[in-house]
């Protein structure tokens, strides 16, 4: 179960530096409540992807205070951060990153390979459940033959399979046509709200951003709008 | 230390095999503990199916050559040993021990000096001699060498005839087990062998008839024609070994005064000590040489032993190099999947899981290649054996032996260890930087 508390974000003085002393990211403060959907926008190179990576504990060079509930992520070592992601974070990327030869179900439950044996059945069931809920029928077909929208839905199901408290999405609709993008936005927001998950999504897609609870704007690594 | 030496050879070999597999198994279980990488490994196998197939073939070929050589070499030694089984001791005029062995055991055409009748008689009369059989060579029919000897030797070599009967008079012949001549077939011996045989040398000699077939021996003798030695001498216009009043006599006793020269005598003594006694008696005689064919062959193998070791070392090295270059190839392939592998880290997989996936894929591919190579090596050795048997008449079977299993087990451990390398490289590089959009 996603712990409601883990979905609560409190971020202060997050900094990711360049070798020349300037900052890729320099965020004074950001808060998010469980069930909230936050859109991140800004020009290309503003640091949107970096912010998401940092929030997932994927940037070695990040400094500052980044708390998800009780967990001060940046003080943890990389193994502990990976373990945190395994249980609490779901990530979605613009280009899906699926294993073409694996079926939809195997892709959505790819974490079966490394999670504790006791958790495997639940993950598999949840992955199958989400795939169906997202409108996919043929769960055993290799995803190589799936359309873009179908592939992105497999990626979403994969992000949701461990029932994470935190959903981080980096331009999840960018590779999709308008109609498919709209459906996916609905599904993603719906999944976050109904599961009391915090969704943070970087996007250029205004119709997607418009449906968020809140929008923050980044420029040159700083938050120029939307600070809480 | 008791224990180890009390175990049977099979147990020892089996335990060595396990010990050789051990490091690979340990590496595998440490790397894989708690993980189930096989779905991803299956995906990689499908993604790069043709390259994978090529790599399996390459590794299989290198393993097969190594295994085939080892198995074949051992089969050859065993076949040779079996061929010398019935030739405890050979006595001839002084000369090359190898030539005499090749002539008597393997029926190879050789230039040999002759023992005269009185020496023959003296050897025959030595204490402890149970069988003293003369062999004469030099004629042939088609591709079959003709050997003149006694019925007692035929019985010693192959036991009772498999079909027909033993000769009772000059002009009757017994054929080897695989010779394509049947009963009643007649033939005239040619002088010499093969291309150089003089077909007309014995023109006018009486035709010989096949009356019996020898039981199989698995030696070149299976392709020979055996005649009473009296017949051979007669064809050559020589005395027949018996006094004129006893011309119907076949085989021992011979009459020294009427005996033409004999190139080779096969001697069987009543016991092993007697064999050594006879050997030392006639080895020290200036007129003769007494040879243990088994010892001649093992001397030969001893010389070739170093070659064998060098050959095994070279083929192992080649196998290792093939494995290493395949792993380098796999490393390049897997870089194509860098982003997917990095994604596993994003999903919270420990670095060891990425290592486990890459290791399983590489090790599985190499292991499949190795096992296919083992099977192919056995097949290759069997084919080689067939060919050598066909060429020489020495029946050899290449079977899979512990040496090959040990080599294979050791090689599997080596590939398991080597596969850690790409696993380690990829898991270190499965960097989130690969995910930059
Ligand atoms: N390793 C690095 N060293 C130096 N600069 C980096 C490094 N990685 C990223 N950057 C820079 O950080 C900035 C933020 O990049 P980021 O990918 O977060 O942008 P973005 O807002 O996601 O842009 P886009 O909309 O194009 O995806 C960019 O200027 C990028 O060049
Ligand atoms: Mg980006």
Q: B353 to chain A: which residues are within 8 Å by CB?
A: 113-114
Output A218 or B433, whichever has higher pLDDT: A218
Helix (H) or strand (E) run with residue A67 in it: strand A62-68
* Paired strand residues for A176: none
Claim to verify: residue B286 and residue B336 sit in the same structural domain: no
Query: If you average pLDDT over every residue of chain A, what do you get?
Result: 91
Q: What is the pLDDT of residues B317-333, one digit of tens each?
A: 888 899 899 999 999 88
Please report the pLDDT score of residue A117 as a whole number. 92
Claim to verify: residue B319 and residue B216 sit in the same structural domain: no
Residue B23 in any domain: the answer is no
Residue B162 in any domain: the answer is yes
Smallest CA-to-CA distance from B360 within B6, B38, B11 is with: B38
Find where tokens 């968020």 sit: A212
Q: With an 8 Å Cβ cutoff, are A86 and B34 in contact?
A: no
Please report the pLDDT score of residue B430 as a whole number. 66
Q: Does B339 touch chain A (CB under 8 A)?
A: yes
A·B CB contacts under 8 A: 83
Helix (H) or strand (E) run with residue B357 in it: helix B351-392
pLDDT category of residue B2 using cuts at 50, 70 and 90 = low
Q: Does A84 touch chain B (CB under 8 A)?
A: yes
Of A87, A98, A114, the CB nearest to B349: A114
Q: Is A47's C-beta closer than 6 angstroms to any atom of ligand 1?
A: yes
Q: Identify the DSSP state of B223.
A: G
Q: What is the mean pLDDT of residues A76-102?
A: 91
For residue B207, pLDDT beyond 70: yes
Q: Looking at ligand 1, which residue's alpha carbon is closest to its atom 18?
A: A47
Which of B291, B309, B324 is the last residue in one of the domains? B291
Q: What is the pLDDT of residues B216-253, one digit of tens each?
A: 998 999 999 999 999 888 888 888 888 888 878 888 88
Please report the pLDDT score of residue A2 as a whole number. 44
Helix (H) or strand (E) run with residue B294 in it: helix B293-335
Q: Which of A13-27, A33-47, A122-136, B294-308 has the lowest mean pLDDT?
A: B294-308
ipTM comes to 0.89
Claim to verify: residue B197 and residue B122 sit in the same structural domain: yes
User: How far does the CA of residue B349 sit from the closest CA of chain A (Å)?
Assistant: 6
Residue B242 in any domain: the answer is yes
Of A58, A106, A117, the CB nearest to B432: A58
Contact B351, B430 (CB under 8 A): yes
For residue B262, pLDDT beyond 90: yes
Q: State how far the Cα of B302 lies from the Cα of A133, in Å rounded to an integer.
A: 75
Of A82, A99, A116, the CB nearest to B43: A99
Q: Is A44's C-beta closer than 6 angstroms to any atom of ligand 1?
A: yes
For residue A60, pLDDT beyond 50: yes
Tell which B residues from 349 to 368 touch A, by Cβ distance under 8 Å.
Answer: 349-351, 353, 357
Please report the pLDDT score of residue A21 as a whole number. 87
Q: What is the pLDDT of residues B88-115, one digit of tens each?
A: 999 999 999 999 999 999 999 888 999 9
Please report the pLDDT score of residue A219 as a whole number. 94
Query: Tokens standing for B156?
Result: 């010693």
User: How far does the CA of residue A58 sit from the closest CA of chain B (Å)?
Assistant: 7
Q: State how far the Cα of A8 lies from the Cα of A18, in Å rounded to an integer.
A: 29
Domain count, chain B: 2
Find where tokens 């050598």 sit: B388
For residue A226, pLDDT beyond 80: no
Q: A188 CA distance to ligand 1 centroid (A)?
A: 25
Please report the pLDDT score of residue B309 as a whole number. 82
> What is the longest distance spanned by two Cα atoms in chain B?
112
Claim to verify: residue B247 and residue B385 sit in the same structural domain: no
Q: What is the pLDDT of residues B8-31, one digit of tens each?
A: 888 999 999 999 999 999 999 999
Residue B37 in any domain: the answer is no
Residue B31 in any domain: the answer is no
Residue B61 in any domain: the answer is yes
Which of B258, B291, B324 is the last residue in one of the domains? B291
pLDDT category of residue A68 using cuts at 50, 70 and 90 = very high
* Paired strand residues for B92: B264, B289
Atom of ligand 1 nearest to the CA of A48: 21
Q: A199 CA distance to ligand 2 centroid (A)?
A: 16
Q: Looking at ligand 1, which residue's alpha carbon is closest to its atom 29?
A: A45
HSE (side-chain half, CA atoms, 13 Å) at B234: 22
Q: Is A77's C-beta closer than 6 angstroms to any atom of ligand 1?
A: no
Q: Please spell the DSSP secondary structure of B94-113, one letter per residue.
A: SS-HHHHHHHHHH-------
Q: State how far the Cα of A222 lies from the Cα of B344, in Å rounded to an integer.
A: 29
Atom of ligand 1 nearest to the CA of A47: 18
Q: B361 to chain A: which residues are within 8 Å by CB?
A: none
Please report the pLDDT score of residue B437 as a whole number. 45
Q: Which of A33-42, A141-150, B183-192, B206-215 has the lowest mean pLDDT?
A: B183-192
Output B237 or B267, whichever has higher pLDDT: B267
Q: State how far the Cα of B106 lies from the Cα of B222, in Å rounded to an integer.
A: 11
Q: Does A116 touch chain B (CB under 8 A)?
A: yes
Q: With an 8 Å Cβ cutoff, are B348 and A112 in contact?
A: no
Residue B40 in any domain: the answer is no
- B370: domain range? 48-80+301-435
pLDDT category of residue A1 using cuts at 50, 70 and 90 = very low
Claim to verify: residue B116 and residue B68 sit in the same structural domain: no
Q: Does A170 touch chain B (CB under 8 A)?
A: yes
Cross-sheet strand order for the sheet of A198-202: A89-93, A166-170, A198-202, A37-41, A214-219, A222-225
Q: Does B435 touch chain A (CB under 8 A)?
A: yes
Claim to verify: residue B285 and residue B308 sit in the same structural domain: no
Q: Does A140 touch chain B (CB under 8 A)?
A: no
Claim to verify: residue B269 and residue B372 sit in the same structural domain: no
Atom of ligand 1 nearest to the CA of A43: 25
Residue B30 in any domain: the answer is no
Claim to verify: residue B96 and residue B62 sit in the same structural domain: no
Output B217 or B193, whichever has higher pLDDT: B217
Q: What is the pLDDT of residues B29-74, one digit of tens each?
A: 999 999 999 999 999 999 999 999 999 999 999 999 888 888 888 8
Q: B46 to chain A: which residues are within 8 Å by CB?
A: 101
For residue B1, pLDDT beyond 60: no
Q: Best substitution site from A40, A41, A43, A48 to test ligand 1's pocket, by max atoms within 8 Å of Cβ?
A: A48
Task: For residue A171, give the chain B residue with the closest CA.
Answer: B437
Q: What is the mean pLDDT of residues B260-274?
A: 92
Claim to verify: residue B156 and residue B230 sit in the same structural domain: yes
Q: What is the mean pLDDT of residues B355-377?
A: 94
For residue B120, pLDDT beyond 50: yes
Q: Please spell the DSSP secondary structure of B382-414, one letter per residue.
A: HHHHHHHHHHH---------HHHHHHHHHHHHH
Domain boundaries in chain A?
9-225
- Domain formed by A9-225, architecture: 3-Layer(aba) Sandwich (3.40)
Which of B259, B291, B323 is the last residue in one of the domains? B291
Find where tokens 């008449």 sit: B393
pLDDT category of residue B431 using cuts at 50, 70 and 90 = low
Q: Name A75's Cβ contacts closer than 8 Å, sequence gap at least 6.
A: none
Most A-contacting residue of B32, B346, B359 (CB-CB within 10 A), to test interface: B346
pLDDT category of residue A90 using cuts at 50, 70 and 90 = very high
Please report the pLDDT score of residue A41 as a whole number. 95
Please report the pLDDT score of residue B434 as a whole number. 58
Q: Is A45's C-beta closer than 6 angstroms to any atom of ligand 1?
A: yes
Claim to verify: residue B352 and residue B313 sit in the same structural domain: yes
User: How far does the CA of residue A67 sit from the closest CA of chain B (Å)?
Assistant: 18
pLDDT category of residue B189 using cuts at 50, 70 and 90 = confident
Claim to verify: residue B398 and residue B278 sit in the same structural domain: no
């Amino acid at each position: 179960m996603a712990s409601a508390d883990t979905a609560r974000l409190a971020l202060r003085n997050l900094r990711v530096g360049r070798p020349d002393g300037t900052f890729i990211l320099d965020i004074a403060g950001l808060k998010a409540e469980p069930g909230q959907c936050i859109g991140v926008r800004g020009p290309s190179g503003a640091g949107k992807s970096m912010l998401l990576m940092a929030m997932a504990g994927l940037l070695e060079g990040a400094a500052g205070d980044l708390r998800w509930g009780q967990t001060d992520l940046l003080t943890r070592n990389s193994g502990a951060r990976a373990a945190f992601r395994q249980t609490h974070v779901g990530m979605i990327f613009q280009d899906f990153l699926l294993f073409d030869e694996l079926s939809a179900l195997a892709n959505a439950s790819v974490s079966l390979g490394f999670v504790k044996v006791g958790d495997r059945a639940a993950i598999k069931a949840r992955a199958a459940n989400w795939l169906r809920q997202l409108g996919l029928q043929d769960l055993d077909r290799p995803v190589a033959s799936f359309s873009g929208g179908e592939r992105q839905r497999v990626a979403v199901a994969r992000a949701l399979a461990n029932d994470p408290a935190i959903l981080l999405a980096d331009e999840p609709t960018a590779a999709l046509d308008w109609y498919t993008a709209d459906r996916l936005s609905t599904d993603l927001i719906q999944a976050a709200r109904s599961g009391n998950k915090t969704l943070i999504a970087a996007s250029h897609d205004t119709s997607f951003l418009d449906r968020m609870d809140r929008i923050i704007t980044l420029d040159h690594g700083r938050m120029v709008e939307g600070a809480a | 230390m008791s224990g180890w030496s009390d175990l049977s050879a099979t147990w020892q070999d089996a335990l060595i095999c396990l010990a050789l597999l051990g490091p690979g198994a340990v590496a595998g279980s440490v790397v894989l503990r708690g993980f189930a990488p096989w779905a991803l490994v299956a995906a990689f196998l499908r993604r790069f199916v043709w390259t994978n197939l090529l790599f399996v073939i390459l590794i299989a070929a290198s393993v097969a050559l190594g295994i085939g050589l080892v198995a074949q070499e051992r089969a050859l030694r065993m076949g040779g040993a079996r061929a010398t089984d019935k030739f405890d001791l050979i006595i001839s005029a002084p000369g090359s021990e190898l030539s005499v062995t090749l002539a008597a055991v393997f029926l190879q055409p050789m230039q040999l000096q002759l023992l005269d009748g009185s020496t023959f008689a003296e050897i025959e009369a030595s204490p402890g001699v149970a069988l003293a059989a003369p062999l004469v060579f030099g004629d042939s029919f088609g591709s079959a060498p003709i050997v003149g000897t006694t019925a007692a030797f035929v019985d010693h070599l192959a036991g009772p005839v498999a079909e027909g009967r033993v000769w009772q008079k000059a002009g009757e012949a017994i054929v080897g087990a695989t010779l394509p001549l049947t009963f009643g077939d007649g033939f005239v011996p040619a002088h010499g062998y093969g291309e150089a045989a003089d077909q007309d040398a014995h023109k006018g000699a009486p035709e010989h008839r096949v009356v019996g077939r020898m039981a199989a021996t698995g030696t070149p003798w299976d392709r020979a024609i055996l005649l009473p030695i009296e017949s051979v001498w007669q064809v050559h216009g020589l005395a027949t070994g018996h006094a004129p009043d006893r011309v119907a006599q076949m085989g021992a006793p011979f009459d020294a005064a009427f005996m033409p020269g004999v190139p080779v005598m096969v001697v069987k003594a009543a016991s092993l000590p007697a064999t050594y006694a006879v050997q030392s008696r006639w080895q020290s005689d200036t007129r003769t040489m007494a040879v243990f064919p088994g010892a001649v062959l093992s001397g030969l193998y001893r010389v070739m032993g170093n070659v064998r070791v060098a050959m095994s070392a070279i083929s192992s090295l080649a196998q290792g190099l093939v494995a290493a270059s395949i792993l380098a190839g796999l490393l390049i392939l897997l870089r194509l999947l860098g982003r997917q592998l990095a994604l596993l880290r994003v999903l919270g997989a420990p670095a060891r899981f990425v290592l486990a996936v890459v290791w399983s894929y590489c090790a599985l591919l190499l292991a499949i290649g190795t096992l296919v190579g083992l099977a192919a090596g056995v097949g290759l050795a069997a084919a080689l054996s067939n060919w050598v048997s066909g060429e020489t008449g020495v029946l050899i079977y290449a079977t899979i032996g512990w040496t090959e299993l040990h080599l294979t087990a050791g090689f599997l451990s080596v590939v398991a260890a080597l596969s850690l390398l790409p696993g380690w490289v990829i898991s270190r590089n499965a960097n989130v930087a690969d995910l930059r959009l």
